Amino acid sequence: MPSGVQIPPPPFFLEKVLITGVAGFIGSAIARRFLEEGFEVIGIDNFDPYYPKEYKEIRLKPLMEYAKFKFFNIDFTSDKLERAFKEGISGVLHIGAKAGVRASIEYPEKYFHVNVYGTLNILKCMLRFGVKKILMASTSSIYAGHKPPFVESMKTDTPISPYAVSKKTAENLIYVYHHLYGIEAYILRYFTVYGPYGRPDMSIFKLFYSAFSGEEFPLYGDGNQRRSFTYVNDVVEGTFRAYKNIKGYEIINIGNDKDESLKGIINEVENLVGNKVNVHNYNFHKADLAETKADITKAKRILNWKPKTSIKQGLERTYLWFNEYWKDIRRIFPKMPEI
């Protein structure tokens, strides 16, 4: 070796992670971040029919470009889950779920099967394959009955939807596996996530859809409900930091510490698009929370994380994405999604 030539440091060890729900809104964004950081990602999704497969395939397409990404069409409630574990993963980001508060009232059994039994199936596989680390996406819906801001230490005994119960039960199951078998686990409670490729059953997607198409936007209540709208990139950053930090068992809020009224969001969307939102009023839904707002003291302390994107910036970026993809969106959703 000639003198003066620098020997490069050995490549530092990067893990192979399993991401469930990888074709979903948040799962696909998280997968992208892990791939950009050099991780190997085994992604699974079963294209749950809650909303169109074609939309999920659009999210998957850019992930397929990465040599370190492998996708399996696997239902995590099934025995086929073992196939993904056989890839030799060292940790799980369990992001997949049946999401959606109102649909859970109609199909509570399905929500329990996927969100509770599915989580148990993953935990059992972790034991069989000696995988010790899991991060699970949970939800602010669990805080029903409390006055915001919501703190992780609050009792969560008054859920108001089967979805919230299914997530709370999954959190508890993971705690059991932590206690009995030493599984290390972080539970992240996400707060109303929005942004490009957003979920079509959520208010911000529907507001833009209405402003672009003129179709009716279903408003439940008077618009004074308040939410900790959290931009997807901020959620991804919090999730990435959390995964790298997993130690013991912790529940951590990943949400905005500033809340907004839905009325205010409607105005912002109208200003950005330059069209009115065609609001159609319905009664406030009993399974919805009137207000959500995250206390993020714990995320700041443990992860040194706080959201960076203002609602103005986040809505602008979502608008630009809608504008660029409007033709595709309209083709996949010829009418306002009825979910």
Ligand X SMILES: NC(=O)c1ccc[n+]([C@@H]2O[C@H](COP(=O)([O-])OP(=O)(O)OC[C@H]3O[C@@H](n4cnc5c(N)ncnc54)[C@H](O)[C@@H]3O)[C@@H](O)[C@H]2O)c1
> Which residues are at the interface with ligand X (CB under 6 A)?
20-21, 23-27, 44-48, 56, 75-77, 95-99, 114, 118, 137, 139, 190, 192-193, 199
11 cis-preceded (ω within 30 degrees of 0): no
Nearest distance from C-beta of residue 46 to ligand X, angstroms: 4
Say what angle helices 25-36 and 232-245 make with each other, to 10 degrees.
60
Give CA separation, 166 vs 109, 149, 160, 169, 195, in Å. 10, 22, 11, 5, 25
**Amino acid letter, residue 265:** I
Closer CB to ligand X, residue 26 or residue 272?
Answer: 26
Closer CB to ligand X, residue 173 or residue 193?
Answer: 193
DSSP state string for 291-338? B--B--HHHHHHH-------HHHHHHHHHHHHHHHHHHHHHH-SS---
CB 199 within 8 A of CB 51: yes
Known catalytic residue at 220 = no
> How far is the C-alpha of 54 from the C-alpha of 62, rounded, in Å?
14
Nearest distance from C-beta of residue 118 to ligand X, angstroms: 5
Nearest distance from C-beta of residue 115 to ligand X, angstroms: 8
Closer CB to ligand X, residue 23 or residue 207?
Answer: 23
Closer CB to ligand X, residue 204 or residue 272?
Answer: 204
Q: Is the dihedral of CA 331, 212, 59, 115 positive or negative?
A: negative
Cβ-proximal residue to ligand X, closest one: 24
Nearest distance from C-beta of residue 193 to ligand X, angstroms: 4
Catalytic-role residue among 111, 143, 163, 177: 163
Nearest distance from C-beta of residue 306 to ligand X, angstroms: 18
Neighbouring CB atoms inside 10 A of 52's CB total: 14
Closer CB to ligand X, residue 97 or residue 272?
Answer: 97
Which residues are catalytically annotated?
A: 163
